[in-house]
Structure 1
Amino acid sequence: MNTKQINKDKATSWGYIPNPDTIIEYLGRKELIELSKCCKFFRNQLKSRVFENLSLETWERNNKEVYYELKKVHRLEEALESLKTILGIKLKFVKIFTLHCQVNCGFAEIFVKLLPNVKTLNLISTVIGFDYWLGEGLLTIFKGIVRLEHLYLYNVDPEISHYSNESQILPKSIKSIKVGCSANSIEDDILTIYDTIDPSYINLHSLTIVTNRMLQNLSSGMPNLKEVKIKEGFTMDQSKLVAFLIANRQIKKLCIDQLRYNEEILNTVLSSKYLEYWDIYDWNWRDIDVNTIQSNYSIKYLIIDSAMPAPLALQLINACKFLEALELEINHETKDLDWSKLDRKINKLKLRYSRYTTNIIKEIDTLRLFNSICIESNVYTRDHVN
């Protein structure tokens, strides 16, 4: 009998080496860094992904005393010079950058020179309680980063006069603008950096709308606009919103936060032939009378994350004839939803956990109305009773 001997001295090797795209799909940034340290092949292949996303906050954490001293004397551009010393030509791989500090012109000029390939810029204020002015250098950054496509602003002071006298400061290359938490609603008499967005921004496909003036400016139509979030909806003029929705029937994803809905708005949304995703959040439905709800044949994903009365929620769910997924919070209103009156079977139900959720699971499961049910465990809930 022949017995194969194992050569213990022979170096082990992988029979199959995953390609970099597969590796990136399953590993996070920290794991990619560790992998690149031990394998030269992956080090070269993954370099662009490892350095793709940078934040000045990382440098701050590692150099706290130096950072706060530079911040005190308004010389944070020296922090950028440190990045240049540490990373050198690797800065060319940076596509996403996060700033959370005031930006003077000196800082902005160095930023643009060091990071010309940035496509996504996150501007985040760490000051809690009010919107934060990011500095006069912001205009220099917007003008200098010619490849900028995605912009995220969180608690940033939006008043345009604080930054520039120019009519438009956002670059025309921009494809998406997302606005995070705002400490206060924006008054109609204040001109913001967002109010200068108009149909000339032909690359824009995703946008957060925060003022009535934005609605009005875009009511002539934005053919490439596909995703919209209406923020601080309780300040929005209902007639302007309807005009905007009618002029932009091409929208596929719509998220509306704290809007004062009425029958006209609901039916305007439902009349869309292209809308696929609708997220509804409103805390006040008391004075809303809805007599007729029209059918929709395009919405596939519906989120009712609000205290919508159960009868209206049922009407709305049944109105979406091709609905594939329903996401719902079971609160003091929706807990009374009569599940037996659903018109059709829906593929997926996602429930946001609240104190009412467990009471209805058996009922839903018995009716066999969903192919799958997912319960999202969440400490925070918009249950207005609990």
Structure 2
Amino acid sequence: MNQGVIKDKLEKKAWIYLPDTYTLSNYFKQNDIVELSKVCKNYRTQLKSRVLKRLNINTRTIKLLNIHSMSNRHEHEYIINSLRLGFAESFHLVRQVIIDIGFSNKFACDFFVMFPKLSNIKIVSYLYYDINDLIRTLRSLEQLQHITLNSEFNYANPLLDKDYYNFFYPLKTIKISTYSRIYNEMLPLHIIGTSFINLECLTVVNNRILSKLSNGIPSLLYVEFCQNYQFDLTELNNFISNNLQLKQISISDRHLDEKVINSILNLKNLYKLEIIFSRSEINSFNTYIENYSIKHFIYTGYGFIRYNNAVYDILKMCKNLNVYQVSDIKCYEDSMREEFPYQSHRISIK
């Protein structure tokens, strides 16, 4: 814990032990810490960088900015102008941006140029923007490391392969979501391969990418498989078997068979496993490998009690499980409590 001393002008009073802002935030509301910062220059400095570190652009932000425009173009102009006023001389403090509104290519150009130190960008909205134009805009951000995109991609232009490569290659996180009807098309992501030595977190969206990485990509630690796409299970099993360093996997039930699940259980470094159940029934697996590395199991699905046999098969093999996170408490109460009681596992309801 960082310690400091606060004294008033007459030096009659003093705080001998002054926790850092992170510690204080565990005990006080943000407003209280802001009030405290008014009498402590050190806190003002810390709070400014913390408060401005992450910027959310969503409908709530627009309301807070008191923007009432029927035109997207004017709305975007008001947002840009408000940010220029509000962040004057502080643009460099913003490290993460989360955008949950539709925006145009012009808005992207005007917006991202203001924040030169961005390292993490998450775009939730599918609307308006063009992925190729966005890449041209973002490639000037030298500190960008993590990107999450929802986009209806334009089909990849082979003439832009060098641009795609130069943009994606330095990134540590590439999480992409797009419409299922274009999963099998050539996407900008098709340039991702085993040479991406910086890549730690990836969304695999089709068999083309899976095949390129199935022999192993040593830097990759976290992977999620697009749940609405049907992967080749042989290729998927090869991918998992050849990436023994994986620490976290998110996978749909439609991608599971006996070989795949046993390959997952065979991973010695896997800490978190998320299985997204979408089918009303799954046959039991012949699981024969005990796993001692999985500490956190996430089970998402709603009310399909019959598939719990498959969950049992997997959970029984996780010998050091600490957290069982379930999206539907009724499934737990009806059929999982006896097998996995509260006393033995911490239950988190998502």
* Same fold? TM cut 0.5: yes
Displacement of 1:220 in angstroms is 3.0
Looking at structure 2, the residues matched to 72 and 233 of structure 1 have their Cα atoms a distance apart, in angstroms, of 34
| Counterpart check, 1:221 vs 2:219 | no
SS at match of 2:298: strand
- Mapping for residues 254-293 of structure 1, pairs under 5 Å: 254-284=249-279, 286=281, 288=283, 290-291=285-286, 293=288
> Which amino acid is the alignment partner of residue 311 of structure 2?
A
Give the structure 2 partner of residue 141 of structure 1. Answer: 137
| Counterpart check, 1:174 vs 2:171 | yes
Looking at structure 2, the residues matched to 273 and 113 of structure 1 have their Cα atoms a distance apart, in angstroms, of 43
Looking at structure 1, the residues matched to 17 and 225 of structure 2 have their Cα atoms a distance apart, in angstroms, of 49
Q: Tell me the number of residue pairs that the alignment of Structure 1 and Structure 2 aligns.
A: 331
Determine if contact 2:52/2:94 at 8 Å carries over to the other structure.
yes
Determine if contact 2:323/2:347 at 8 Å carries over to the other structure.
no
- CA RMSD in angstroms comes to 3.4
Structure 1: gaps (5+ residues): 1-8, 126-130, 330-350, 379-386
> Which amino acid is the alignment partner of residue 56 of structure 2?
S
Looking at structure 2, the residues matched to 134 and 258 of structure 1 have their Cα atoms a distance apart, in angstroms, of 32
1:290–1:54 Cα change, 3 Å: closer
SS at match of 1:18: coil
> Which amino acid is the alignment partner of residue 20 of structure 2?
N
Displacement of 1:26 in angstroms is 4.9
| Counterpart check, 1:357 vs 2:333 | yes
Displacement of 1:122 in angstroms is 1.4
Displacement of 1:50 in angstroms is 1.5
Determine if contact 1:209/1:231 at 8 Å carries over to the other structure.
yes
Looking at structure 2, the residues matched to 43 and 11 of structure 1 have their Cα atoms a distance apart, in angstroms, of 22
Q: Deviations over 1:172-230 (max 9, x none)?
A: 221112345x5x42445412233332223211111122222221222232111111111
1:45–1:296 Cα change, 3 Å: closer
1:213–1:36 Cα change, 3 Å: farther
Give the structure 1 partner of residue 94 of structure 2. Answer: 94
Give the structure 2 partner of residue 374 of structure 1. Answer: 347
Give the structure 2 partner of residue 118 of structure 1. Answer: 118
Looking at structure 2, the residues matched to 248 and 304 of structure 1 have their Cα atoms a distance apart, in angstroms, of 23
Displacement of 1:263 in angstroms is 1.2
1:26–1:221 Cα change, 3 Å: farther
Identity %: 24
Q: Deviations over 1:145-195 (max 9, x none)?
A: 1111111223x2133449x95115343221112345x5x424454122333
Give the structure 1 partner of residue 225 of structure 2. Answer: 230
Give the structure 2 partner of residue 252 of structure 1. Answer: 247
Give the structure 1 partner of residue 7 of structure 2. Answer: none
Looking at structure 2, the residues matched to 314 and 40 of structure 1 have their Cα atoms a distance apart, in angstroms, of 55
> Which amino acid is the alignment partner of residue 294 of structure 2?
I
| Counterpart check, 1:324 vs 2:318 | no
Displacement of 1:358 in angstroms is 6.3
Looking at structure 2, the residues matched to 286 and 218 of structure 1 have their Cα atoms a distance apart, in angstroms, of 31
Looking at structure 2, the residues matched to 268 and 238 of structure 1 have their Cα atoms a distance apart, in angstroms, of 12
Looking at structure 2, the residues matched to 292 and 86 of structure 1 have their Cα atoms a distance apart, in angstroms, of 57
Looking at structure 1, the residues matched to 202 and 344 of structure 2 have their Cα atoms a distance apart, in angstroms, of 33
Q: Deviations over 1:82-107 (max 9, x none)?
A: 42233211111010112333242x54
Looking at structure 2, the residues matched to 375 and 111 of structure 1 have their Cα atoms a distance apart, in angstroms, of 38
Looking at structure 1, the residues matched to 342 and 76 of structure 2 have their Cα atoms a distance apart, in angstroms, of 58
SS at match of 2:87: helix
SS at match of 2:314: helix
1:213–1:355 Cα change, 3 Å: closer
Determine if contact 1:232/1:257 at 8 Å carries over to the other structure.
yes
1:228–1:28 Cα change, 3 Å: farther
Q: Which residue of the other structure, out of 286, 304, 313, is the alignment partner of 2:311? A: 313
Determine if contact 2:176/2:203 at 8 Å carries over to the other structure.
yes
Give the structure 1 partner of residue 6 of structure 2. Answer: none
Give the structure 1 partner of residue 5 of structure 2. Answer: none
Determine if contact 1:195/1:213 at 8 Å carries over to the other structure.
yes
Compare 145-154 and 39-48 and name the one that shifted more.
39-48
Looking at structure 2, the residues matched to 56 and 93 of structure 1 have their Cα atoms a distance apart, in angstroms, of 16
